[in-house]
Structure 1
Amino acid sequence: MVTTQKRWISRAMSSERNDFVKASPKIATEVMAAQLDPYERASFVEVVVPALAQGGLPSVEMWSSLLNAAIDSEVPAKAVAAGHDLSLEWRPDITDDSDADKRDAKSAFTTAIIKTCDLVLEDDPRQIAAVVASLSRHTRSIFKRIALYILELHPDTTLVRQYLTDRANFAEPASRRDYRMLARARADLLEVGDMERIIEWIQEGDSDKFARVFRAAMGRPPAKADVHRHVGIWRRDWLRAFRRRLPEELATELDELEMEFPGPQEERSAVRFTTWSGSTGPLSSEELRQLAAADLIHFAKKWKPPRDPFGPSIDGLVNQITQAVSTAPSDFLTLSPAQLEGSDPTVINAIVTGVQRAFESAFRPPWADVISFSAWAVDQKKIPARGGDLFDYQLDWTDTQLAVARLLSSCLNEKSDPIPLEEAPRMWHVIEGLAGSVHPTPEFEFQYGPPNMSPMTLSLNTVRAQALLLAIDYASWQRRWIGEEWAGLPNEVRDLLEAHLTPGGDPSIAVRSVYGNRLPALFYLDHAWVESHLTLIFGKDSRDAMGQVAWHDYLLNQVFIQVFNLLEPQYWMATEAQRASPRDGLEDAPELRLAVHLAVVYVWGRLETHGSPSLIQRFFELADPIARHRFLETIGEILEANPIVPPEVAARLTRLWEWRWDSLAETDSAGRCEELRAFGQWFATGGLEPSWSLSQLERLMTSCGVVDNEYRTLQRLAILSDAFPKPAVAIVGVLSDKGGSSFYAWEDAAKQILRHASAHSDADARTLASEMVNRLVAKGFTTFLDFA
């Protein structure tokens, strides 16, 4: 990997700038084809960014090419086709790369762009217009978000005015947070007329949109209280962004709104790209070691940070508390209520986070202390947070309750040293307290729910939903203790689940998501309860909006045969509903997840393509090409995970493929090829009979000229070319006709195929190889001259 990095750096730094820009797509193709693991990717970015930043704008272009390639590779195809990069899901805070880069290439290359822009502008601030122009050439929202952040760090009056007075930027949900952060930092650069225009937009509001979305989500129009709360919080957040430029009457209104609707301001992460040391705490390492737990909490109550953005900060103190707790959690868990009294929720959150970190490091605290501390923290939910501006505490008790729920979930799932069963009453008291939270409100779900966060993602970030998840963990914990005498869900869990499930019980989509997403666990705990509540969970038909929330999030699970048998009527209902189902472009769109489930069940042999009635046949009759492709793609993924294919499964897959080929003979080419291109993954796994699979690949390539996993398909083809040289050479010919940047992905495999064919005992194969070399050279692929 180091050699490859040096080669990329050397090529980039030895090129003229214009040549470097032209080479960027090729470098991006090579980097993506290299399929770096997270460690290699982090190393690549760390090594390459400082070296390439000397190249100026071309470096930004190269990283932008890589980011676009990563989005094309990692973001669901339908989302990409619809123009969505889903960056709010994989990079919610543009400044925070604390752990995102360990998960995916998109975030790693986003970090690389930001760092490169920052280094380029530190070297030459006059480049700001060119940097922003380079970013704006890319239409995906992540690039606009980066540009807004770069202007926050390196303000240019003209560009700041241009971006803040663009109504499209004001209204764009994907970059709204970054727009408001730029406004908070640089609103002083706006002229009076600019502010008048923006205030007009704020005054217009979005209550009509709120009413439409609320009705669609809840099945009823919003009450006056719902509208009042939404409008108040919406205006509060927008007025906060321009606080320093507000006329007196709006400044007064903002004060009143903050009293009526208290809540933390939007803030950047503590991780900033321009400073590598993180936030600074007020205590030295020695002072931190010497302070007892009670003294540290007392210090946190009294300490006021200086109003200096580069001085000790609340974030720094919180990090110090978290660090202290993680090394001695029992000292903090045993603090008395009197010692904790008056602590800000941000501090309590830091304690819970520190205990969680200690838990993840194999520390097992006395369970009674964990439960007692959690109960005290949850009981504080009615006490207002101190709140404040950038230099003050930011979290409220909602954040602390979420941290408590996550900690207790870890504790309940501990199997080597489980919580004693005698703690059940006290544990349930905490769960009940969390379940009584008002969070999420309808306004919260309107602001942060779809399309920003899915219902399942909301469920992970809302207190009531977390309480229900915790209740299911609680039941699983009890079952592990009780063993064979388990008789189904405990009464308290049943009562809680039913209270939030009955009509009018809980309008939250985050809460309803839990029933669908955790249905396999509920089935394991009490299949009779699940069977008797199916209609309440999923609704009578596909017109039930809340039922569809549960169904969609159920589909995010892997499929289990017993659960499938119980839910087969729901699978039929979902299949029939495809005709009216809107596609949202996400990989977890219900139509695509339905395809995944049915494909798995088909491989098991539970369903067939023919019969009366045939669920598989009906699915393919009604599904669009993308969903049909996902069905076949899933089978490729199964073959990848299980390379040794039993004969009966191979025969079943052969029947399916030939049925699909024959069924699509008279359909339009685009839809047909969109579905069938998934065969590339089947072929690449090598799990099916070579002669048959090669003949099908040749037929598909001749007809459509495209397959999935082209790179791995060609690698497999190169292996088979020694035994089957003529069809392999023919496929190389089809790929050469495509040309373009994909050449770099199949060049090595094509050379191996031609070597095998050129040396083969079959004279026809040798002739075909010679003719193909001439074709390739004539097309400009001069690296094949060695074969001529």
Structure 2
Amino acid sequence: MKEEKINRIIQLIKSDLPQENHLFKILSKTDNPFPLLKPLKDVGYFDPKKNPHPIEVENQKGSYKIPQWNVLDYLVNAAKKNNSSPTDEITELLINIINDIIEYKTETNERIENYITDWEIAKIIFLLPAEFIQDKHIEFIRIALNSKWGSDMISHEIVNSIIPNVIKLNAKEILIKLLNIVFDYKVLNNDRIDKYESLVDNYSFNKLMRLHKSSILKICGNEATEIVLKKIQQICGDDEFQFNSIWIPTIEDHPQTSFPEKYECQLVYFVRDFYQTSQPEDISNDISTLIHLEHPIFIRLAVHIINYHYQILNFIFWELENNPLEIVEAKHELFEFFKNNCIFFSVKQIDRIIQMIEEKEYFLYDEFKNDKEKADIIIASLKKEWLSALLKTNNEKIVSLFNKYNSINPSKIEHPGFNSWSESSWGYKSPIKDTDLLTKSIEEIVEYLNNFEEKDRWEEPSIDGLSETLRICVSENPNKFSDGISSFLAVKQIFQHSLLWGFSEALKSEKTIDWQSIIKFIKELINAKSFWVEDYTENLYNYRNWIISQIADLINFGTSNDAHAFEPSLLPDAEYILLLLIDNAESNYNEMQDVINSVLNSNKGKIYTAMINYSLRYARLFKKDDENKWINSIKELFNKNLDKNIEPSIDFSVVVGEYLPNLYYLDKEWVTSNINILFPEDDNKYWEPAFTGYLYYTSSVYSHLYKLLSENGHYLKALQIDFKDEHANERVAQHICVAYLEGWEDIDDTNSLIYELINSSNIKHLSALINFFWMQRDSITEKIKNKVKPLWKQLFFRFKNENENKEYFKVIAESSKFIYLADEIDEDIFTWLKFAARHINNNFHYPFFIEQLLKHVDNTPKAVGDLFIEMLNNGFFPEYKIEYIIEIISKININNFGELAVKICNLYLLNGVEFVRPIYDIIIKESKK
């Protein structure tokens, strides 16, 4: 390239950031990036001072964004092209640029920590010819990995590109230097057990081991293993509790290793794999050294490798002077060593192992040390465990000793060769398996339950575990338990609860149960005075409340669906049970995250629900054609409970609201005459839970109930309060929108609820209104279109007054969703969309807006162009989907609005967004024809 042209290019980009960005974008893709490399370096474009510092995000203290230096992609491209056909001149230039950047320090003697720059520089370094890569370049990798911004990107580069390329080049020296960094560690919070991690992030480190370990072992296995062993020694020197048998229970791969991907495990596995794949003659000195090192992990590794290469390396073990069984951490490796190789042991060697077993000092808890009988039993089991590894020898001494200790302690050895064993288990431990409990008769089961005594140790079987086993057994075989159910009147309430719960579970799995026996049992249970007097004030769990809850659940299940309902002859008993429960049950309402779930889980809530389902079942059977369909006893109770002095619980209010349509079916007159008592407007303690229950569970909006509630001011009140339950706020708006669609509300009536909704000061209502119609987008009808456009107009005038109120920006942006209903962007819709477009960056649905603009660009290109510019002028530069945006710009241009298209491109380019550059160049080129 001629010098004159180079100077002209440099002058062109001088003080023109968009042009500068554009040039480096082109250079990052060109096939010949070299002519400008030195000129650009000479005028300072690669000056390390220009490496951008992290920038703290405005109004987000502690949050930073990391700018990308615009020259980096160009330098990477130059390095790639030079890598394909290297020249000393370009290589030297790149090295000078790299060195300037990695050696640069600010006035405060600090480097600029930009992890994007570090990542790109790492790429460039390892695109250099191998002979030019210097120690300081490799050390830079260590520095970059220690960045306070994390190491994910450079870790990814090391594992996915750098090391594979070094392996491909068979560059042993560079690989060893890199591994010295990759295997190095950082120390996390000292209070953590797993406080050591690789400098490379965990995911990348594991990927490196998985994909490239074998290649590393072939190229420099000995040197790499030496590096790893030094790292292990350093860590163990700092903290002897690392590399323990809890985290690394076995040297071989084993399911007991919970986290094999951990840094420590991977280091051990690397050493193991090297020695396993080596010729045993070549490693005998190493193993002899390892077995005499102090930390157990080295001894464990040595024993494992001797086990693996026993025929050649066994002498190392037999030369030991001490008793290796005293090394508790090495138990598993020693056990496996004995088990796998004992058939090769000589009589002399077997005698020596017997001596080791007999002379070993066995650990005893203090409580057993002074009790010789118990101590002998425990030690017998421990010796028997070691001897079990040697039984394959058929040696008389071994067999005799094993039998001796087995007679002292015949218990089965669980998981021989392990100091501890981890099992995934949930819940409490049971003293008996469900299969074993089911083999017993009902009388035997009851006796077993009553005789069980819980020990005060967490690892021992518990009454909770036994009750869980009972529940499982009942759910699997309900008829076995219903046949002798009366016997369970004599067991503890925790077991009675599990019994009833088991029947509920059986019903849910569509098993049949003997309703008559169960209902009879429930009556007898709750009629007993003892059921109600048991004191739970000092107990963590109130099993009586749990039983009441299960009884209500069973009756609910047996009445709510005729397909699995109990026989009509049992309805009087169910009525008796429910009335007795409600008279005696205490309110255990405990507000959780929301009132609905709290009531659903309360005793009274479940009982009232069962009463309504019972009444509906009764009505379907016996009062289908009556005006008043419910049973007098239940109606009288509900009438009485309208007095809050008699029934002060929230439970009743929520259930009445939830089942309002069902109560209306049972007795229209009762609901109509008591509507303002059921929803007491002057007492929000009861009104809000009741109306929340109604909103929450009324999936359909019934005209008669909507009219009744709106005429009595309840929907208006619902608009004027902010419900604790977010769902309730949305449902209020949805109900009113349904009414508007159905013609029950008139938008031109200033007294209408739809008018009140549009003018609500609760942004949640406005957002719910927009989203209600947005959810209709897949089933658009003319009816919906005709209703939405006047609604949109009213919303526009409503929002116009809030243009400076940031709280409204999101919901203003959401109004752009209404574009889906427009067949064309007419003058009104353009005005409304333009207003929304100013705030579109506040709406994560903006890609839909872009998609809809594309849909309309052919018919109204100018309107679409103006809307796009409105968006850009307000600081939002969408980049998704790029293909849609390019197509919009192209179509605006094709439809003779080239100036608008160019303006859109310029706004993008001036803000450093380059994806529009190709279409911009095409438009400019065509305009000059």
TM-score normalised according to structure 1 size: 0.58
Match of residue 6 from structure 2: none
Q: Does 1:655 align with 2:794?
A: no
Three-state SS of the structure 2 residue aligned to 1:331 is helix
The letter of the residue matching 1:401 is I
Distance verdict in 2 for CA 1:726–1:587, change over 3 Å? farther
Which residue among 606, 615, 625 is the counterpart of 1:466? 606
Deviations 1:310-339 (A, max 9, x none): 3333343233222211111122233343x2
CA contact (8 A) 2:857 2:864 kept: no
- SS of residue matched to 1:282: coil
The residue aligned with 2:548 is 401
- Code of the aligned partner of 1:762: I
Instruction: Report deviation, 1:464.
Output: 1.9
Residue type of the alignment partner of 1:676: I
Q: Percent identity?
A: 15
Partner of 1:529: 670
Distance 1:694 1:617 in 2: 20
Higher-Rg structure is 2
Picking from 608, 617, 620, the partner of 2:755 is 617
Match of 1:666 among 798, 801, 823: 801
1:322-372 Cα deviation digits (max 9, x unpaired): 2211111122233343x2134232222222222222211111223323322
1:495 is aligned, of 606, 619, 636, to 636
Counterpart CA distance in 1 for 2:460 and 2:436 is 17
Question: What letter is aligned with 2:746?
Answer: E
Indicate the residue corresponding to 2:511 in structure 1.
Answer: 363
Q: Aligned equivalents of 2:260 and 2:873: distance in 1?
A: 40
1:549 maps to 2:699: no
- What CA distance in whole angstroms lies between the structure 2 residues aligned with 1:696 and 1:734? 11
* CA–CA separation in structure 2 for the residues paired with 1:402 and 1:409: 11
Contact 1:542 1:577 in 2 (8 A): no
Deviations 1:674-728 (A, max 9, x none): 5433324444xx4553535973673233343346451562474376266366655
What is the identity, as a one-letter code, of the residue corresponding to 2:703?
I
Compared with structure 1, are the counterparts of its residues 574 and 418 closer, same or farther at alpha carbon in structure 2 (3 Å cutoff)?
closer
Quick one: which amino acid aligns to residue 631 of structure 1? L
- Distance verdict in 2 for CA 1:769–1:567, change over 3 Å: same
Residues 372-397 of structure 1, C-alpha deviations (whole Å, 9 max, x = no match)? 233345446414268988xxx94421
What's the counterpart of residue 727 of structure 2? 588
**For residue 620 of structure 2, what is the aligned residue in structure 1?**
480
CA distance in 1, matches of 2:914, 2:527: 73
Q: 1:618 to 1:494 in 2, by over 3 A?
A: same
2:769 paired with 1:631: yes
How far apart are the structure 1 equivalents of 2:437 and 2:898? 76
1:421-470 deviations in Å (ceiling 9; x for gaps): 22210111121122123421xxx55xx33xx4433323212212221111
- Residues 1:779 and 2:911 aligned together: yes
- For 1:90, the equivalent position in structure 2 comes to none
Task: Give the conservation status (yes or no) of the 8 Å contact 1:501–1:537.
Answer: yes
1:374-385 alignment runs, 5 A limit:
374-379=522-527, 381-384=531-534
Match of 2:577 in 1: 430
Q: Which one-letter code corresponds to 1:397 in the other structure? A: R
Matched residue, 1:701 = 836
Q: How far apart in 2 are the matches of 1:563 and 1:484?
A: 21
Q: Secondary structure at the match of 1:678?
A: helix
Residue pair 1:20, 1:58 contacting (<8 A) in 2 also: no
Amino acid at match of 2:845: E
Q: Match of 1:321?
A: 470
Alignment of 1:600 with 2:745, yes or no, is no
Letter in 2 for 1:481: L
Contact 1:297 1:340 in 2 (8 A): yes
Paired position in structure 1 for 2:83: none
Q: 1:711 to 1:760 in 2, by over 3 A?
A: closer
Larger displacement relative to structure 2 (340-349 or 325-334): 340-349
**Partner AA of 1:545 in structure 2:** K
Deviation at 1:494, TM superposition (A): 0.4
Quote the Cα distance in structure 1 between the aligned partners of 2:845 and 2:458: 51
Q: Which residue of 2 aligns with 1:508?
A: 649
1:569 positional shift? 2.3
AA aligned to 2:823 is E
Q: Distance between the aligned counterparts of 2:786 and 2:461, measured in 1?
A: 68
1:302 maps to which residue? 451
Contact 1:293 1:332 in 2 (8 A): yes
SS, match of residue 691 in structure 1: coil
Query: How far apart are the structure 1 equivalents of 2:202 and 2:870?
Result: 34
| Alpha-carbon distance between aligned partners in 1 of 2:866 and 2:201, rounded to the nearest angstrom | 39
Q: 1:566 aligned to 701, 708, 719, which one? A: 708
| Matched residue, 1:689 | 823
Q: CA deviation at 1:401?
A: 1.0
Tell me if structure 1 keeps the 8 A contact 2:500–2:550.
yes
The runs of 5 or more residues in structure 1 that have no matched partner are 1-10, 25-52, 61-117, 125-273
Mapping of residues 96-135 of structure 1, within 5 Å: none
- Checking the alignment, whether the CA contact within 8 Å between 1:678 and 1:708 is kept in structure 2 is yes
Which of 350, 366, 376 matches 2:498? 350
Aligned to 1:341: 489
Report the CA distance shift for 1:565/1:551 in structure 2 as closer, same or farther (over 3 A): same
Q: Residues 585 and 604 of structure 2 are in contact (CA less than 8 Å); yes or no, is this contact kept in structure 1?
A: yes
Shift of 1:517: 1.9
* Paired amino acid for 2:745: L
Contact persistence 2:594–2:725 (CA under 8 A): no
Query: What amino acid sits opposite 2:894 in the alignment?
Result: D
Offset of residue 298 of structure 1: 3.0
Contact 2:678 2:690 in 1 (8 A): yes
Distance 1:547 1:584, change over 3 A: closer
Q: Distance in 2 between matches of 1:486 and 1:502?
A: 27
Structure 1 residue 293 displacement after superposition: 4.1
Q: Choose the corresponding residue for 1:754, options 879, 886, 903.
A: 886
Contact map agreement 1:345 1:397 (CA 8 A) in 2: yes
Asked if structure 2 preserves the Cα contact closer than 8 Å seen for 1:17 and 1:55, the reply is: no
Which amino acid in the other structure matches residue 657 of structure 1?
W
What is the Cα deviation at residue 733 of structure 1? 5.6
Q: What SS does structure 1 have at the residue aligned with 2:563?
A: coil
Q: 2:616, 2:666 within 8 Å by CA — same for their partners in 1?
A: yes
CA contact (8 A) 2:653 2:689 kept: yes
Q: Which SS does the other structure have where 1:309 is aligned?
A: coil
The 8 Å contact of residues 325 and 355 in structure 1, kept in 2 or not, is answered as: yes
- Answer yes or no: is the 8 Å Cα contact 1:758–1:765 preserved in 2: no
Q: State the secondary structure of the residue aligned to 1:669.
A: coil
Q: CA RMSD in A?
A: 4.1
Following superposition of structure 1 onto structure 2, how do residues 99-178 of structure 1 map, counting pairs within 5 Å? Answer: none
Aligned to 2:163: none
In 1, distance between residues paired with 2:613 and 2:202? 49
* Whole-angstrom CA distance in 2 between matches of 1:332 and 1:688: 65
TM-score w.r.t. length of structure 2: 0.50
Aligned to 1:455: 595
Would you tell me which structure has more helix in proportion to its own residues? Answer: 1
Distance 1:333 1:57 in 2: 62
Deviations 1:587-619 (A, max 9, x none): 135x54432321221121110112363232244
More relative contact order, 1 or 2 (CA 8 Å, 6+ apart): 1
1:20 positional shift: 8.1
Cα deviation code 1:520-565 (max 9, x no counterpart): 22112221111121132112x3345323432333232343212112
Q: Which range moves more in the overlay, 666-675 or 515-524?
A: 666-675
The DSSP-based 3-state class of the residue aligned with 1:485 is coil
- Is the CA contact 2:750–2:756 (under 8 Å) kept in the aligned structure 1? no
Q: Distance in 1 between matches of 2:457 and 2:869?
A: 66
